[in-house]
């Protein structure tokens, strides 16, 4: 029998340190739902999703019970809708979003991702219509998540799209004004988006993926924090080793759940995404890990280096645990969803500029940041451009999920509720980036993208 | 199929007897038991075979929960695989 210490360690991780499977995400290809008749396409989409994902929630709940590991979310990602809807004559794609929302309701998942467009080099007709439909789509649906990829290391940055994103984000905020602009909590702008990310709001089922696949996202900031508490004052070598070992154990758990879910649903298993994804609850914070490493309050000098070490050690442990580690795998640094980040902003140790630096070494980007509602759209676009540049030049995924909150300004706090948490409104630069953003065109791909 | 049962709580007379008679009434075979006191807490770990019982996993879980309340201890049952995958390469 496995020794008692190991058994109790696993139980402690789950019960006290909030180790969980953050999400089982079923990726479903909708390529065979394309039709010149929009209505027919939507019927096919609905039927396919509810058939493929019929047992997803039940299987997730069964595994949760039998293995005693909480599985927080069951979700679905689909082929970017711009590719599917483009064949129809529809003039806007809001109906497609409603269809996704309805399908998500029917099967009982809490989010469905893929109201997306990939425009890192240019727009197709479908991309253009989809992007214009985003504000309304996010305001009339509950569960639909949307994303747009505006840059890649191979293609550079599509600055026309960057410019448009500022406008889209502002009008989404306006249309969801009565809910503090929550529409933008469901919208991510990417550079180097990955095709197998199981985490929302950025999940979509890439065209290189198979018909249907199960991806699993594991989380466990609390477990890492607690492991580090036992090596107080030790050198960075020990810190790195401790994180790596912990991340190995967490990933193994994810792999087991993914394999089991894939077997029971009779759907191939894609990847385990080992991301330290915080929640707004105490004991589940990435900022607190950084503070445990020795930073008084997240954002103080040393934070970027600590985060770099954390992100790297998490990947190393995960890769050893399972061959198919994918998605974003690393440390997420959302503000509103992490109690330590929220406190750091309130205390004044963390600001947008420091967060931007942190995104150079974390797994994604500027995430769940609330900003004043009167921030000019060009400033939002320019923030996106900066973030995309970091991703494109460093060959990594970066994203921006930024939420201008109508009617609120610095000093106010916004409550999104549940796992989306609450966010103090953060200051953005007062200086204009309008002339920069209005140039349009494309920023060329960096020289080191020419590897062929 | 094998599962691990963990029983944790304040030590008192009759915990092992209570849990094992509950298991035997459901036809669950106990393969191994280890028991220790950690910081005044009674900690028992059992490896059981649930392959031959007619009671469903949920049924066993509910029965053990009820027994746990009666005895004032917390009882969990989980598939053995979760521990193996985490601690064995």
Q: Is the pLDDT of residue A234 over 70?
A: yes
d(CA A254, CA A141) in angstroms, rounded, equals: 30
Q: Is A133 exposed, middle or buried (0-12, 13-18, 19+ CB in 10 A)?
A: buried
DSSP, collapsed to helix, strand or coil, labels residue B53 as coil
Q: Specify the length of chain B in residues.
A: 89
A69 touches B: beta carbon within 8 Å: yes
Q: Is the pLDDT of residue A240 over 90?
A: yes
Which residues have CB under 8 Å from B72's CB, separation 6+? B9, B10, B12
Q: Which band of pLDDT confidence, cut at 50, 70 and 90, is reported for residue B26? A: very high
Nearest CA in chain B to A62: B58
Our count of domains for chain B comes to 1
Q: Is A264 exposed, middle or buried (0-12, 13-18, 19+ CB in 10 A)?
A: middle
A36 touches B: beta carbon within 8 Å: no
pTM: 0.92
A10 touches B: beta carbon within 8 Å: yes
Across residues A50-66, what is the average pLDDT?
95
Residue B7 is predicted with a pLDDT of 94
pLDDT tens, position by position, A345-375 = 999 999 999 999 999 999 889 999 999 999 9
* Å between B73 CA and nearest CA of chain A: 15
Do A24 and A67 touch, CB atoms closer than 8 A? no
Q: Which band of pLDDT confidence, cut at 50, 70 and 90, is reported for residue A1? A: low
Do A114 and A205 touch, CB atoms closer than 8 A? yes
Buried b (16+ CB within 10 A) or exposed e, A418-435: ebbbbbbbbbbeeeebee
* Calculated CA dihedral for residues A191, A186, A337, A56, nearest 10 degrees: -100
Determine whether the interchain pair A252/B79 forms a contact, defined as Cβ–Cβ distance below 8 Å: no
Residue A203 is predicted with a pLDDT of 95
Tokens of A61: 């709940």
- CB contacts of A69 in chain B (<8 Å) are 78, 82
Determine whether the interchain pair B87/A6 forms a contact, defined as Cβ–Cβ distance below 8 Å: yes
DSSP, collapsed to helix, strand or coil, labels residue A217 as strand
B57 touches A: beta carbon within 8 Å: yes
Give the CATH number of the domain where residue B25 resides: 3.30.70.260
Among the listed residues A111, A204, A211, the one whose alpha carbon sits nearest the alpha carbon of residue A149: A204
pLDDT tens, position by position, A276-299 = 889 888 888 999 999 999 999 999
Residues spanned by the domain of B13: 2-86
A6 touches B: beta carbon within 8 Å: yes
Nearest CA in chain A to B45: A4
Q: Is the pLDDT of residue A2 over 80?
A: no
Q: What is the mean pLDDT of chain A?
A: 94
Map tokens 């810190």 to a residue. A239
- CB contacts of A4 in chain B (<8 Å) are 34, 36, 43, 45
d(CA A231, CA A234) in angstroms, rounded, equals: 6
């Amino acid at each position: 029998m496995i020794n008692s210490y190991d058994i109790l360690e696993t139980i402690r991780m789950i019960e006290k340190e909030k180790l969980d499977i953050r999400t089982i995400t079923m990726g479903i290809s909708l390529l065979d739902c394309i039709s010149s008749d929009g209505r027919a396409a939507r019927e096919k989409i609905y039927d396919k999703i509810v058939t493929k994902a019929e047992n997803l929630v039940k299987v997730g709940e069964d595994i949760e019970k039998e293995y005693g590991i909480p599985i927080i979310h069951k979700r679905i990602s689909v082929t970017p809708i711009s590719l599917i809807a483009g064949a129809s004559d529809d003039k806007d794609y809001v109906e497609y979003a409603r269809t996704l929302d309805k399908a998500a309701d029917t099967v009982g998942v809490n989010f469905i991702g893929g109201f997306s467009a990939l425009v890192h080099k240019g727009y197709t007709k479908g991309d253009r219509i989809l992007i214009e439909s985003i504000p309304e789509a996010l305001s009339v649906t509950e569960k639909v998540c949307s994303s747009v990829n505006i840059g890649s290391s191979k293609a550079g940055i599509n600055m026309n799209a960057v410019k448009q994103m500022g406008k889209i984000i502002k009008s989404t905020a306006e249309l969801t004004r009565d809910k503090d602009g929550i529409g933008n909590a469901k919208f991510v702008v990417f550079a180097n988006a990955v095709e197998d990310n199981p985490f929302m709001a950025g999940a979509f089922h890439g065209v290189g993926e198979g018909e249907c696949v199960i991806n699993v996202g594991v989380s466990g900031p609390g477990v890492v924090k607690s492991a580090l508490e036992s090596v107080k004052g030790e050198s960075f070598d020990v810190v790195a080793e401790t994180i790596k070992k912990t991340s190995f154990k967490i990933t193994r758990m994810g792999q087991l759940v993914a394999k089991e879910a894939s077997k029971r649903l009779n759907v191939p298993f894609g990847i385990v995404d080992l991301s330290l994804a915080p929640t707004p609850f105490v004991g589940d914070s990435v900022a607190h890990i950084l503070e445990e490493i020795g930073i008084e309050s997240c954002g103080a000098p040393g934070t970027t280096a600590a985060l770099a070490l954390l992100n790297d050690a998490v990947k190393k442990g995960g890769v050893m645990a399972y061959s198919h580690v994918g998605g974003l795998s690393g440390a997420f640094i959302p503000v509103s969803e992490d109690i330590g980040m929220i406190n750091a902003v309130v205390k004044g140790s963390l600001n947008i500029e420091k967060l931007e630096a942190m995104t150079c070494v974390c797994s994604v980007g500027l995430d769940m940041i609330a900003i004043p509602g009167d921030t000019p759209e060009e400033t939002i676009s320019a923030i996106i451009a900066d973030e995309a540049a970091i991703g494109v030049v460093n060959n990594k995924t970066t994203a921006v999920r930024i939420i201008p909150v109508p009617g609120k300004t610095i000093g106010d706090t916004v409550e999104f509720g549940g796992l989306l948490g609450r966010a103090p409104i953060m200051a953005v630069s007062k200086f204009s980036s309008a002339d920069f953003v209005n140039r349009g065109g494309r920023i060329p791909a960096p020289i080191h993208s020419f590897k062929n | 199929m094998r599962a691990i049962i963990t029983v944790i709580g304040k030590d008192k007379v009759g915990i092992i007897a209570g849990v094992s008679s509950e298991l035997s009434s459901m036809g669950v075979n106990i393969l191994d038991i280890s028991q220790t006191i950690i910081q005044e807490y009674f900690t028992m770990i059992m490896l059981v075979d649930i392959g031959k019982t007619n009671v469903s996993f949920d049924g066993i879980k509910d029965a053990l929960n009820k027994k746990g309340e009666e005895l004032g201890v917390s009882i969990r049952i989980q598939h053995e695989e979760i521990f193996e995958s985490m601690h064995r390469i």
